[in-house]
Structure formats: structure tokens, C-alpha cells
Chains A and B, each alone.
Chain A
Amino acid sequence: MTATAARAPGFWRRNQQRLTPWLFMAPGLLMFAIYVLIPIFESIAISFYDWDGLGEKVFIGLSNYVELMDDDTFYVALKNNVLWLVLYLLAIPAGLAVALFLNQTVTGIRLYKSLFFFPFVISQVVVGLIFTWFYAPDFGLFSALLKSLTGQEIAILADERYVTYGIILAGLWPQTAYCMILYLTGLNNINPEQVEAARMDGAKGLKLLWYVILPQLAPATFIALVVTVIGSLRSFDLVSIMTSGGPYGSSQVLSYFMYEQALSEYGFRMGYGAAIAVVLFLIMMVFISVFIVRMLSQERNA
């Protein structure tokens, strides 16, 4: 900044107020442009090419998308993404339930809250390994439990019928912990006078929760919704660790399907991968837009 000032004192003085914020933002904007903004457009462009990542790009128009529309795995992945999205939302009521259970003041409750939050702190790779072990036939704790209940041995992660549910359950574990911590903070900040007033009026239990508490928890619910929806569509780590999309592609999701097409032993199909990424991006942009519009209106009201 001093260099600019030395070179053109008149210009700097006249425009200081206008330029200052942009100078502050320059490094952040530059990094963001290089690694986030420009790559989005590049990906969209690459999706119209046939490219192995090294050789010449060949323009093929919409062929990647046409092929995608005919690809059975794409529909399996899409269906599983919907399943993830819907079932992942269970983390919100589950998190609220745990938060209500823990929102007490007894000795050691702080430690309990931290330990309940534990699954969120550890990496999804570790969560994936833990649940793979948990589900393992013959010696997994969950399989043993299932066997003693139903008398049947089910290899969850090797069974096309159950595999996606098994992975989603693993994902719900840390996600519920996340929603729990959001709600615990929300409950902490509830207006006690309103609650007391409602109690005076005879409200209690579920009615009190529904009409008095939940409206006050709306900001927490909104954030829980945002992170859960985004998290469900981003699901990559668990699928990669637990099944690599198998058996026979039955636990495939778009994020992993894209990675597999672009960067795996099946060959480097960057254009095709980019096309899958664009589809996923468009799906997520629908949700992102809704969230941004709502945040924008909050911003205007503030």
C-alpha cells in the first residue's frame, strides 16, 4: 500500500476509501478465484470434451451427457443420493432428541456432552473403518447383535439390498452429533421468561416444545438443515472407505461415481467425470440458492 502511495499520492488520496476494501480482499479473492471460481467454469467446459487428462482434448459437444443419460450406474447413484438426502435428515430430530436428553445440570454433564459429540470430531475415514468392522460378518458387533435377534447372518456391506442403508447409518452417527451440538447451543440461549410464561399458562411437554421451544430454535434448525443437506450430497469418504461403490455399484453415489470415472483404474475419463460433477453441482445449486436467498433476507432484516 505504501508503494502505491509513493508512486501516485494524488490518485491514492482521492480513491483511498474506495480502494481500501479491495486491497484488503485482494489475497483472499485471488486464491478463491484460482481454486474455486475459475475451476467451476473450467469443469463445465471440460464436460463437453473427451479428455484423458494428459493428451489433446477433443470437443464432443453433449456426448458425455447423452452417454450419462444411458448409464445405469448414473441412475443407481442418483437414486442413492435421494436416499442419502432423505434419510440423512433424520439426524435433525435425532440430534434434537439427544440435545433435550442432555440439557440438564447434573454432575459431569459437560463431559457427557463432549463425549456424545465425539463422533463428529473424528475423521470420516475412521468412522468408515469403525463401521466396516462393526458390520463385518462373523465377528462384527452389529452382525452378532443381528444374528442373536433374527438368527440370520447378514453381511450388510456385501448385500445389495442393505449396503446403502448401512453406509448412511454410519454417516448419521457423526451428523447426529453435529445437530445435537447446534441444538444444545440453541437451547442454552432460549428466552427463559417466555418458557416460564408458557408454563404458567399450563403448556407443557410436547405442546410446549412444539409451540414455544421449536420456534425459538429456528436458527439452529436452519443451520442443521443446511449442513445436513449439503453433507448428504457430499457423501464421498464413507462410500469410498466402506464399499468403493460396491457390491456391483449398488452403493454408488454421484460424488464417488465422478471420482471413479475421472481418476481410477478404469481409465482417466476427465470429460465424463466433469459431466457427472456438473450434474451434482446443479442439484446442489438448487439447495444452495434456497439457503442463500433465506440468508440474504435475514441480512436485509438485520
Chain B
Amino acid sequence: MFPTPIQKASPLTQKAYVILLPIALVLWLLPLIGVAITSVRPASDLAAGNYFGVPSGFAGVDNYTAVFRDSPIGLYILNSFKVTIPTVIGSVALASLMGFALSVYKFRGNLIVFFMFVAGNFIPFQILMVPVRDFTLKAGLYDTTLGLVLFHIAFQTGFCTLFMRNFIRGLPFSLIEAARVEGVSEWKIFVHVVLPLMRPAIAALSVLVFTFVWNDYFWATVLVQGSHAMPVTAGLYSLNGQWVAAWHLVSAGAIVAALPPVAMFFLMQRHFIAGLTLGATKG
């Protein structure tokens, strides 16, 4: 283990480490903590210039109620779910098929297709912006959640394919061969042999895609205009313009918008990290 386990150090160092940990954490999360405290501050505090001090009272309930009552943030959140959930299902499904094909079959063009998808992950969104917006307009999907969903599915499939292909490659190939000898069709091999083994990969990708798509801001501004289809990231930005200097409301809105991916992360932490660090350990 590196660095040397702290248990081998002197008792003084051990004590120092245990004290240092929470201090480092508070410093690291200072901006976030500031926002969290602001979100429960009474508006009068801000007017009186009490920005960092102990809040003069707890206005959390008031502030959060005000955010939901006076702004369409509830609708924005609903829209985010309408975009995120179908995207997760669609991209994971398509990537499972892609990953299966790329890992199980040897065919000409295999590596080209694979690396095309990998490269697709890294390109700047701006090179896609004008044509994708134009296509979405012409298809009548501009300003709808479906328009966002279709784009996100296509784009996220790239990342998911990379993950799925490498995951399926790690599975024992003899299982597939045994099924083939039995005369099982390729489709049934996929559904009954490989798919059940892919559960951990599907879980990891689902959390990751959920977070990526939930947090997307660029496409939310490019493909959506009205609040009826606007996801919470773009919605929060427009609210920020309306709530000038009402930092207690902006903060509460920001916390609300950040909550779903944070909850997802804490619930599915192991899968989340497994997905994110894929490849960080190989070699």
C-alpha cells in the first residue's frame, strides 16, 4: 500500500491526520457549504449584509417553498427526468447490442467502427451544433424533450459502447462457444447468455449516463427554448437572470437542481466509480 499506512506512523501523526481530514474537507467544499447555508438564510440577512455569519434564523422551508412556488423549477425537474430516463434506457440498450457485436465477432471493420465510436466521444459539441439543430427543427422536434432524448441517445451510445465492448471481452468466451455448439441462435445467445452477465455494466452505465445527461447544459440551450421542455440546468440559468441578487433563492434552486445526481451517486456509488474508472487499472 502506498503511502505507508498511517497506522504505522507515530500516534501524534495519526492524531494529526484524523484532525486534518475534516478540516481539509471543509476547505475543499467551502464554496458548496457557503451556498448550502445561503439557501437557508432569511432574505433579511442578505439585505443587512450578513453574508457569512450565523444565519439570523432558519428560512430553509420558506426559501425552498418560494423556489417551487414562484418559479417553474418543478416543471424543469420533471423535464430533466423526461430527458434523462429515456436516454439512459436507449443508449444502454443500443450500446449493449454494439458492444456485443464488437466483442464477440471478428469481422472486417471491427476496430474501425470501435475507434470511430471512441473518437466520437471526444469531439467538441460545436462541430455538431448547427446541423443537429437544423435537423431537429426540420423533424419537428425542436423545443421538445424527445428532440433532446434522440440526440443524447446517439451521443452517449459512443461512450457506452466503449464500456460495454471492453466489459463483454472480459467475460468467458467459452460460454458463448458452448451455446453455439448446442445450436443456440446468435440472438438467443445475446439475450440468454450474455445479457444476464452484463448487469453490473448496465448498472454502472445507467448511473453515469443519468448524471451526464442530467447535467447537460449545452444541448438544453441549443435544442430547447420554451420552459415547457426546458431541463433544470438551462432553467436554473434563466432563473438566475430573474433573481438578480436574490442569492438565497438562487442557492436553493442550485441545491435542488444538484440533488438528483447526488442522490444517484450516493445510492449507486460502487457502480458509479466502477464506470468512471474503467481502464484506469488495466495494463
Contacts and interface: CB of A to CB of B under 8 A. Distances in A.
Interface of A: 1, 16-18, 20-22, 24-25, 27-29, 31-32, 34-40, 42-43, 46, 53, 100-101, 103-106, 108-109, 112, 114-119, 121-126, 129-131, 133-134, 139, 141, 144, 173, 178, 181-183, 185-190, 192, 195, 204, 208-209, 212-213, 218-220, 223, 226, 230, 233-234, 236-237, 240-241, 254-255, 258-259, 262-263, 270, 273-274, 276-278, 280-281, 284-285, 287-288, 291-292, 295-296, 298-299
13 contacts: A17-B105, A39-B128, A40-B123, A43-B129, A109-B21, A121-B211, A126-B236, A130-B32, A139-B46, A141-B51, A219-B281, A270-B130, A277-B124
B70 to A, nearest CB: 18
Interface residues of A, dominant DSSP = helix
B2 A187 contact: yes
Contacts of B283: 218-219, 298
Contacts of A100: 2-3
Q: Chain B CB within 10 Å — which of A20, A188, A226, A240 has the most?
A: A20
A108 B17 CA distance: 13
A234 B122 CA distance: 9
Contacts of A18: 107
A101 to B, nearest CB: 7
Given A101-B24, A186-B280, A208-B2, A32 B120 contact: yes
A292 B127 contact: no
Contact of A141 (B2, B52, B95, B155): B52
Contacts of B150: 31, 35
A213 B117 contact: no
* 4 A-B pairs closest in CB distance: A35-B154, A123-B215, A39-B131, A24-B101
Interface of B: 1-7, 17-18, 21, 24-25, 28-32, 34-35, 38, 46, 49, 51-52, 94-95, 97-98, 100-102, 104-105, 107, 110-111, 113, 115-120, 122-135, 150-151, 153-155, 157-158, 161, 186-187, 190, 211, 214-215, 217-218, 221-222, 233-234, 236-237, 240, 247, 250-251, 254, 257-258, 261-262, 265-266, 269, 273, 276-277, 279-283
A270 B131 CA distance: 9
Contact of A46 (B123, B130, B250): B130
Nearest to A195: B2
Given A21-B107, A181-B273, A288-B123, A240 B217 contact: yes
Choose among A114, A118, A240, A274 the residue with the greatest number of B CB atoms under 10 Å from its CB. A118
Contacts of B51: 139, 141, 144
B2 A130 contact: no
A116 B25 contact: yes
A234 B130 contact: no
Contacts of A240: 217, 221, 237
Nearest to A42: B131
Contacts of A116: 25, 28
Contacts, number: 290
Nearest to B103: A21
B187 A130 contact: no
Contact of B29 (A109, A115, A131, A284): A115
B25 to A, nearest CB: 6
A2 B221 CA distance: 42
Given A21-B101, A134-B34, A185-B277, A31 B153 contact: yes
B254 A130 contact: yes
B97 A25 contact: yes
A13 B77 CA distance: 50
Nearest to B261: A121
B130 A115 contact: no
Given A122-B215, A299-B111, A27 B129 contact: no
A280 B25 CA distance: 37
Contact of B105 (A20, A32, A101, A281): A20
Nearest to A289: B119
A204 B33 CA distance: 37
Contacts of B254: 125-126, 129-130
Contacts of B257: 123, 125-126
Which of the listed residues B25, B280, B283 has the most CB atoms from chain A within 10 Å of its own CB?
B280
A291 B2 contact: no
B126 to A, nearest CB: 4
A192 B129 contact: no
Given A123-B214, A126-B257, A219-B281, A281 B127 contact: yes
B122 A288 contact: yes
B28 A234 contact: no
A39 B250 contact: no
B236 A28 contact: no
